[in-house]
A and B are shown apart, each in its own frame.
Chain A
């Protein structure tokens, strides 16, 4: 701007003072813009997270005065077989949940991105499971999948297929949870994809049609890359969420049967609020946090290389 042009004309003779440069610089603007958010998040999120780091170094039942035990909680975690199972269950869940929900959401968003009659109703219908409370969703699925009286087993019976135990079968329960959470979270990714699809310029699509490209080719080579930023966001967000699965487990299986749906955050909850091991629970949270951070950074790094931003 004016400082820059001034500087270019007077480069040989003098430069604006450091203060002036600072005031007009991107540094100040950048920090000014982020300050309100940073203050709010620092006070209400970063400080509490720091507090729980301290908690993880204590033996603390959240009731009596605690005492510090250094890294004892972490050392115990490393030897804890239940924790290892929880990690395994969480990974299985995440690896299934993320691709299915992201892929499904993309397909549905594409289907919903058109102007046929009643499209607003269809979009609303896809949104509904999202606003349904977790408690209500849990009850519905518990009924649908009940081994004796459930609707799904009834349909299987009509089709001559064997009855399943679903949420009461240690080998099936986790997959049922995947289905339940995909169904209830689809709307979330769909509305983000829908918003992203609005941003695709029509002239690009027209040009592609003019070149004789079929719909699928247009989709693959134009729409999909342009959805890159949204896809990256949704994948990162879904992964962060999937690794922290809790509510749906709490309202249905409570970590069972036989611990087959005990995921990391549920195990944390058990430790902190059932066994009164607050410090141990905080240590679990920190290990999880580090894991999520690494996974997210990895995803962002891959995204930086592969995602196309129009600027």
Chain B
């Protein structure tokens, strides 16, 4: 078959054309045939790469801001690249690290910080921050500073901050004849309301909880634990402390509500939001990321702090911009960009464009802040709720394993397959083993 002889020629031609196509854009994107890394510094002009996983509004916003920076800083070009989302991003970043050419700046989940910090190419920012008083590190919220710091080394600049608040459906409350939640609600107020809003026949639930045993399941539990006065680990960080009476109290509330079918158990696909918008869930513990959807669905909603007896603590899940050292020139350029991006004025711009919470406390005092809170009704509650995020998750490299153990425990309680004390004690045992293991 003469046609088949053409096959190798076709394959070669395609491969060559594909290679050739890349070198034309080699200067601003990844390396092709030359030994050039992704970025470079020639004659005073520096190009740096920034990796992010933004979509929709955030994606257009970051590109707009980068373009603005590039214009006002002619000696630096910031090249923004999309690196996938969720866990896939980690595999790509790890590959780049293995190849010795990580991006100059990367958006990285806060939960990865302790492990990322072990990389020698990560830039430690303590000195840079100390040399620049105008940067005002303490302007960032405590939760953010905790996540960006590993063993005293500051390895990232906050990129995102959020927290959990109580979002409720006003219409369902009115229908049930219930008073809407207040910032002073106790757990019994909350449980009462959840039970009254539950109606299995109408497929209506009082509350929703993400029950996929991932960190999404665990971090909500931590908020409950803290509200009950408990803590995750002992003060020396060597033993689990979440199986205390406080932990059992929190888990018992989950058990009671789940047993009465008052909780919509989300399997991790975040369908709870749609179900809420369709009027089948009364209350959510959620963050500002869901706000745009709720507004678009025209749900009659309200936002307030989380209920609690002793306190109304919440939990925050900040993420970081991490800098990798690809040479002095590029590090300097990356620092200049990040300083600019996280400055109060620019951050307010970002917040107004995207609806993300301001990462600095001083942003609330700026002139345009009122526009921001007006554009996203309810966002002000989340912003002030940041003051309630007083505790953080332990910054340990083994935290993911701790999360898995606790996630299984919480999931088993919600599914009615274990008693609270038993599940938590078992998880505590596992966690003690994890903490005791060497390395």
Interface residues in chain A, defined as those with a beta carbon under 8 Å from any beta carbon in chain B: 59, 61-65, 139, 142, 146-149, 167-168, 170, 252-259, 270, 273-276
Contacts and interface: CB of A to CB of B under 8 A. Distances in A.
Contacts of B90: 273
Contact of A258 (B87, B97, B115, B417): B417
B375 to A, nearest CB: 31
A51 to B, nearest CB: 10
Contacts of A63: 94, 97, 115-116, 118-119
B393 to A, nearest CB: 15
B264 interface: yes
B265 A168 contact: yes
B116 A273 contact: no
A254 B270 CA distance: 14
A61 B417 contact: no
B296 interface: no
B212 A254 contact: yes
Contact of B213 (A139, A146, A257, A276): A257
A173 B243 CA distance: 29
A64 B97 CA distance: 9
B381 interface: no
Contacts of B415: 168, 170, 257-258
Shortest Cβ-Cβ A-B pairs, 3 listed? A64-B118, A276-B115, A63-B119
A258 B94 CA distance: 29
A259 B115 contact: no
A273 B411 contact: no
15 contacts: A61-B118, A62-B97, A63-B97, A63-B119, A142-B269, A149-B275, A168-B265, A170-B415, A253-B212, A254-B213, A254-B268, A257-B212, A273-B87, A274-B404, A276-B400
Interface string B78-121: 00000000010011001001100000000000000001101110
Nearest to A169: B415
A63 B118 CA distance: 7
A247 to B, nearest CB: 12
Nearest to B200: A148
Contacts of B120: 64-65
B203 interface: yes
Nearest to B418: A258
Interface string B396-413: 011011001000100110
A274 B439 contact: no
Contact of A149 (B97, B116, B203): B203
Contact of A148 (B98, B119, B203, B404): B203
Contacts of A253: 212, 267
Contact of B408 (A147, A258, A270): A258
B214 interface: yes
Contacts of A254: 212-214, 268
Interface residues on B, range: 20 to 34
Contacts of B212: 253-254, 256-257
Interface string B202-239: 01000000011110000000000000000000000000
Interface string B289-326: 00000000000000000000000000000000000000
Given A142-B269, A274-B87, A64 B119 contact: yes
Given A170-B417, A258-B412, A273-B87, A61 B214 contact: no
A63 B90 CA distance: 11
Contact of A61 (B115, B269, B401): B115
A109 B83 CA distance: 41
A231 to B, nearest CB: 28
Contacts of A275: 398, 400-401, 404
Contact of A62 (B98, B398, B411): B98
Contacts of A276: 115, 397, 400
Interface in B242-301: 264-265, 267-269, 271, 275
B98, B214, B412, B415 pick with most chain A CB within 10 angstroms: B415
Contacts of B408: 258-259
Interface in B102-148: 115-116, 118-120
A280 to B, nearest CB: 11
Nearest to A165: B415
Nearest to B274: A149
A59, A61, A255, A256 pick with most chain B CB within 10 angstroms: A256
B115 A167 contact: no
Contact of B439 (A59, A62, A65): A59
B264 A148 contact: yes
Contacts of A170: 415, 417
A259 B409 CA distance: 11
Contacts of B267: 142, 146, 167-168, 252-253
Interface in B165-204: 203
Contacts of B87: 273-274
Contacts of A64: 118-120
A273 B98 CA distance: 14
Contacts of B400: 274-276
Contacts of A255: 213
A142 B417 CA distance: 22
A259 B213 CA distance: 9
B9 to A, nearest CB: 14
A166 to B, nearest CB: 10
Interface string B414-439: 01010000000000000000000001
A257 B417 CA distance: 11
A89 to B, nearest CB: 15
A61 B408 CA distance: 24
Nearest to A145: B267
A275 B112 CA distance: 10
Contacts of B264: 148
A86 B142 CA distance: 40
Contacts of A273: 87, 90-91, 94
B119 A258 contact: no
A6 to B, nearest CB: 32
B87 to A, nearest CB: 6
A258 B411 contact: yes
B401 A258 contact: no
Nearest to A255: B213
A65, A254, A257 pick with most chain B CB within 10 angstroms: A257
